[in-house]
Amino acid sequence: MRTTVGIIGAGPAGLLLARLLYRAGIESVVLESRDRGYVERRQRAGILEQGTVDVLRAAGAGERMDREGLRHDGIELRFDRRRHRVDFPALTGGRSVTVYAQTEVCKDLIALQLKEGGPLLFGAEALAVEGAAGDRPRIPFRYQGREAVLECDYAVGCDGFWGVSRQAFPAEVSRVFERTYPYAWLGVLADVAPSHDELVYARHERGFALLSMRSPSVSRLYLQVPAGTEAGRWSDEEIWDELERRFETDDGWRLERGPVTQKSVTPMRSFVHEPMRHGRLFLAGDAAHIVPPTGAKGLNLAVGDVVTLARALVHEKETGSADLLDAYSATCLRRIWQAERFSSDMTALLHRAPDATAFDARLQLARLERIASSRAAETELAEAYTGFPLG
């Protein structure tokens, strides 16, 4: 099998890249190890930055998002039994975010790709990337019980944190920057209308809690739990009780309960692999970087990477110049490190570390007070949350 761009992974990064290339008349093949149902149901991100929304629309993938996505003009910070709303448009010159789940973004992109794009093979597991430093990279893969090879001009690893493409970088080229956290998020999906019309980020002595949503009738909620916690160890009632404690305010706000339909634990890490290119192999999305979920940056970063890469591939096709491809890694990394910084700061601001002292707790509260009382501090949060410009 031969193509121009061989894409490993049909998460948001791989699917959107295939879509952008298709629109520009560049051939691609997408290999995805899982089946379609798995990719379409895997519960993950929920928040799209304005820039991500604009990109999906421009790619002709925004129709359902425009109908069903929920525009949010702010978030609430909750601490010390009080609430503070951050008004995004007022602080950023009109920017907002959109609640539209990653599952839905993937469904929309898969449907478009199967209808009019190049091949998208489910159940096709890439085994390696070979010859990245040469002219013609090769991706051996397993499909329907047989081994085959995809030959391409460029290989793109969109295969997430656990994929194979990062391993094709020689050890002397790779630099890894990493931090793990002693806590994780227990996430639940519940069939109940969200108890607030915007997201609530709560800092509490017992740990962080987040109220989010998937639709006007489905809530998405997260609780900070110790790293290594098994989701099954928490009964539904214990989860609701704990959420209630952490969201409690002095003004009588109430958390509505409902049937829990899904429960899972997400470990938290910060991770960056530099560079994001080796010869004709490029990394994009979680394959190259991970942020802790506080601040909702992961999917948006993946979108930024593939927009930058698609632009560079189109530029090369139209002008013969590899300038933008050569700049790809550095261009993406500037934005990625800003998101790493923001996600790490938001995590530290809102979570309780197991070894936190009373002094640390007071500092957290002082930082939150500062955001609630200084337009400059609040603007910093609003600008970062609504998104950094594409490089």
- Which phi and psi (to 5°) does residue 160 adopt? 70, 180
Instruction: Indicate the burial class of 64 (C-beta count within 10 angstroms; 0-12, 13-18, 19 or more).
Output: middle
- Which phi and psi (to 5°) does residue 207 adopt? 130, 175
Other residues' Cβ atoms within 10 Å of the Cβ of residue 337? 15
Residue closer to ligand FAD, measured from CB, 13 or 281: 13
Q: Catalytic: 84?
A: no
| Bridging pattern class, strands 209-215 and 199-203 | antiparallel
Question: Is residue 59 a contact residue for ligand FAD (CB under 6 A)?
Answer: no
- The interface mask with ligand FAD, positions 16-55, x = CB under 6 A, is ---------------xxxx----x----xxxx--------
Smallest separation, CB 292 to ligand DHB (Å): 8
Nearest to 51 by CA among 376, 337, 305, 275: 305
Smallest separation, CB 52 to ligand FAD (Å): 8
Q: Catalytic: 154?
A: no
User: Residue 307 and residue 303: Cα distance in Å, rounded?
Assistant: 6
DSSP symbol at 257: P
Which CA distances in Å does 125 have to 8, 32, 158, 350, 360? Answer: 8, 6, 13, 38, 46
Question: Is residue 7 a contact residue for ligand FAD (CB under 6 A)?
Answer: no
Smallest separation, CB 20 to ligand DHB (Å): 24
Q: Catalytic: 351?
A: no
Instruction: Indicate the burial class of 290 (C-beta count within 10 angstroms; 0-12, 13-18, 19 or more).
Output: buried
DSSP symbol at 293: S
Smallest separation, CB 242 to ligand DHB (Å): 18
- Which entry of 22, 72, 204, 289 is annotated as an active-site residue? 72
Tell which one of 5, 10, 55, 168 touches ligand FAD (CB under 6 A).
10
User: Residue 93 and residue 35: Cα distance in Å, rounded?
Assistant: 42
Among the listed ranges 90-98, 149-157, 247-255, 288-296, the one in contact with ligand DHB (CB under 6 A) is 288-296
Nearest to 296 by CA among 379, 374, 187, 192: 187
Q: Catalytic: 385?
A: yes
- The interface mask with ligand DHB, positions 293-322, x = CB under 6 A, is xxxx--------------------------
Question: Is residue 293 a contact residue for ligand FAD (CB under 6 A)?
Answer: yes
Nearest to 19 by CA among 111, 119, 113, 102: 113
Number of H helices, E strands in the chain: 11, 19
Smallest separation, CB 93 to ligand FAD (Å): 22
- Which entry of 183, 201, 222, 328 is annotated as an active-site residue? 201
33 binds, among ligand DHB, ligand FAD, none (CB under 5 to 8 A by kind): ligand FAD
Which of positions 166-225 make contact with ligand FAD (CB under 6 A)? 187
Which of positions 17-46 make contact with ligand DHB (CB under 6 A)? 45-46
Nearest to 240 by CA among 226, 251, 254: 254
Tell which one of 13, 16, 47, 109 touches ligand DHB (CB under 6 A).
47
Which of positions 125-154 make contact with ligand FAD (CB under 6 A)? 125-126
Q: Which residues bind ligand FAD (CB under 6 A)?
A: 8-14, 31-34, 39, 44-47, 102, 125-126, 158-160, 163-164, 187, 266, 285-286, 293, 296-300, 302
Which spans of this chain sit near ligand DHB (rule: CB under 6 A)?
45-47, 199, 210, 212, 220, 293-296
